[in-house]
Amino acid sequence: MQKKIYTLLFLASALIIQAQSLRDLNYNYLYNPSEKFILKWKITNLDKQLELHYSIEASSETGTLNGFSLQVEIRNSLAEKEGSNIGEEIPIDPVNKKTGKINLDSSTVGKFAVLKVIRTGATAKTATLFYKPIPASSTPTLFKEVSPVLQTYSRINDRVHVKGLKQDQPHLVSYYDNEFPAAGPPFSTAQAGVSVTIKPDSTFTVLHDALFSLNEKGLYLVQDDTTSSIGLAFRIEDDYPKVGKLESLHGPMIYICTKLEYDKVKAAGSDKAKFDKVILNITGNSDRAKIFMRSYFKRVEQANAYFSSYKEGWKTDRGMIYIIYGLPEAVYLSEDREVWEYKNTNFKGRLTFVRSSTLFDPENYVLIREKKLSDTWYLMIDLWRKARF
C-alpha cells in the first residue's frame, strides 16, 4: 500500500497558483491514495511559542520530490482569496525525507495557516493547499524524543513524552483496552460514539516532560488530573496502519458479513485455512476471493491512514464510508462539517459528516444517517461480496 497522510489535514487538488477562497475548493484529493507525496504537519502552541512542524516525502519508493517546495501563508478567514506569505519557498530534497519547522508570530493566533506544496513543472507552477487554524491556547502534544508525533498514534515501546500540560505537577495517564465499536451502517439510527465517562483499565503518573515507553496496544489519555477538560489522547499500535496479521483481519469484515459469517471469521483467529474458507464462501470462487482480499484490505489500510482517531480509522464513520463507497468525486469543507459527493455509476448522492468534538478526539466527525441510504448500502455490499466493484 502506498503511504499517505497520517494526520487530519485539509488538502486541495493541485491548482495553478492563483487567488482563490479556501471555501471554494474541491478537497477530494484529501483522501486520494494516488497523490505523489506524503505530508504530515501540525501546529503547536507550547509556552506561547507557535511552531508549524512538517514532514514530506515521496509516496512511493520510486517516487521523487524533484521540483517540489513548501511555502506558508497566513489568512484571516477561509473566505479570503489571498494571504501573507511567511518567508521564501522552502526547496524539498528530491530524494530524502524532509522535515522542519516554521516559527509563527503571536499575531497570527486565531487566523489560518495555509501550507502550500508547490510543484514547478515544464509549463506551469501548481500548488496543493492545506490549512489549519492557529491555536490560541496551549496544545498538549506527544513528542518522540525531541520531535512532535504528527499522527494520532505511536509505536509500542517508543520513548515519548507530552508537552503542553502543567509543568508543576505529574501527569495522569489513563489506559483503555476497550474494543471500541465499529461504525453503524449509514441508515441506522444508532451512532457508535464514545462516552465521556469511559472507565480506564489502568492509570499511572509520569513526571512533566519525562520520557516513558508504552508496551500495550490501545488508547491512552494524558491529563493534568481526572477533573481536567484538557488532555491528549493517542493510540499505541504495532504494524498499524497496515493490517498484515491474520488475527487483525476479522474486525473490518463486519461491514460485509452476515452475523453468522462474522462469527466464523472471528473464531478462525490465526487459522488461515478457516479464514480462507469463509472468504471463499462469501465470494464464490478463488479468483474473486483474491480480488476481494487485495482490494478490501487496501481500503482498510487507507482508512486507517486517513481517519485514525481514538479508535482505528476503519471503525470511524468516514473510514466506513471510504472503505465501502471509495474516494468521493468531491469533498467540500467548512469549519464544522465535511460533505462528500459521489457521482459514479454505483452511487449518486451526498453524505454529510459533522464535527462532534470529544476529549478523546477534538476532530471527531459523525455521519448524518438517513434511512434512504439503505438501498445503496446493500448494493455496495453485494458488489463487494461478489468482487464486482
- What are 207-245's pLDDT values in tens digits? 988 999 999 999 999 999 988 889 999 999 998 999 988
pLDDT-derived band at 85 (thresholds 50, 70, 90) equals very high
The average pLDDT across 262-286 equals: 95
CA 220 centroid distance within chain: 17
pLDDT-derived band at 19 (thresholds 50, 70, 90) equals confident
- pLDDT recorded at residue 56: 94
The pTM of the full predicted model, rounded to 2 decimals, is 0.91
DSSP string, 113-133: EEEEEEEE-SS-EEEEEEEEE
| CA–CA gap between residue 72 and residue 115 (Å, rounded) | 5
Residue 297: Cβ-neighbour burial (10 angstroms; 0-12, 13-18, 19+): buried
- Output Rg (C-alpha) for the chain, integer angstroms: 21
- CA-based nearest residue to 96, from 135, 40, 55, 126: 55
- What are 135-186's pLDDT values in tens digits? 999 999 999 988 999 999 999 999 999 999 998 899 999 999 988 999 999 9
Q: Would you say 250 and 268 are in contact if contact means Cβ atoms under 8 Å apart? A: yes
- Please provide the average confidence, as pLDDT, over all residues in the chain: 90
| CA–CA gap between residue 313 and residue 243 (Å, rounded) | 12
Task: Tell me if residue 103 falls in helix, strand or coil.
Answer: strand
- pLDDT recorded at residue 18: 62
Q: Is the pLDDT confidence value at 283 over 70?
A: yes
pLDDT-derived band at 12 (thresholds 50, 70, 90) equals very low
The average pLDDT across 9-17 equals: 45
Q: Letter for the amino acid at 119?
A: R
Q: Would you say 50 and 44 are in contact if contact means Cβ atoms under 8 Å apart? A: yes
Q: Is the pLDDT confidence value at 196 over 90?
A: no
- pLDDT recorded at residue 64: 87
- pLDDT recorded at residue 3: 40
Domains of the chain, first to last: 15-133 (2.60.40), 141-237 (no CATH), 246-385 (no CATH)
| CA–CA gap between residue 127 and residue 82 (Å, rounded) | 13
Q: CA dihedral in degrees (306, 309, 313, 318; nearest 10)?
A: -70
Higher pLDDT pick, 299 / 37 = 299
- pLDDT recorded at residue 143: 97
- pLDDT recorded at residue 96: 72
pLDDT-derived band at 7 (thresholds 50, 70, 90) equals very low
- pLDDT recorded at residue 205: 96
